[in-house]
Amino acid sequence: MMRLRVALIAAAMLLPAYAQERNFGPATYKVEFNIRDGNDAAARTPRHYTMLIQPGRKANFRVGNRVPVATGSFQPGVAGVGVNPLVNTQYTYIDVGVNIDCTINEVNGRIEMHGNLDLSTIQKTEAPPNAANPPNPTVVQTKLDLDTVIEPGKPAVIAAIDDPVTTRHFQVEATVTRAN
């Protein structure tokens, strides 16, 4: 019986700390972003993004497309003589969509949040008639770099843009709740 008890104690010591205790490690928070673009036909229904973050750690969220943009082209000669009919085109790829980087810290029952939000899309551009190459796309982009304090469980508008030049209306709301 004594040998079994020693074996059980030794096995318990090999278990990770979270398996020995009912405490599952540092707090994890759920951060929800609701993004409304007033120019969007579905502006009444915001786009919704959620991530889980531990305090002091950085979380990244990437969703979207990579759009090719022609950055150069050349037509090499064949063995130094004549012209090769093929044209080599070089491309760079631009990330468009929603990119969110976020960190949080707990301070006196409130949550300090640092966020970088990059929201971009491609603006439709018509190619002129008889154009040899299509024009490069125009990227419409909204970038936010913010530091704020949020009360847990309460939605807060962390950014609002009302641009009179482009008539664009934009709002970002964040809610932080403890997940464990």
List the structure tokens of 56: 């002091």
- Does residue 41 lie in a domain region? yes
- Does residue 13 lie in a domain region? no
Q: What are the two backbone dihedrals, phi and then psi, of residue 12, each rounded to the nearest 5 degrees? A: -65, -35
Name the nearest CA neighbour of 180 among 8, 17, 11, 28: 28
Please give the distance of CA 87 from its chain centroid, rounded to a whole number. 36
Domain that residue 57 falls in: 18-72+83-178
- Does residue 24 lie in a domain region? yes
* pLDDT in single tens digits along all 180 residues of the chain: 445 444 444 444 554 544 444 455 678 999 999 998 876 555 567 899 999 999 999 999 999 999 888 887 766 655 555 565 667 778 889 889 999 999 999 988 889 999 999 988 888 777 677 666 667 788 888 899 999 999 999 999 999 988 777 777 889 999 999 987
pTM over 0.75: no
C-alpha 117/C-alpha 136 separation (Å) is: 24
How many domains would you assign to the chain?
Answer: 1
- Does residue 106 lie in a domain region? yes
- Does residue 7 lie in a domain region? no
- Does residue 160 lie in a domain region? yes
- Does residue 11 lie in a domain region? no
Q: What separation in angstroms does the CA of 159 have from each of 61, 63, 78, 128, 134? A: 18, 20, 57, 38, 36
- Does residue 62 lie in a domain region? yes
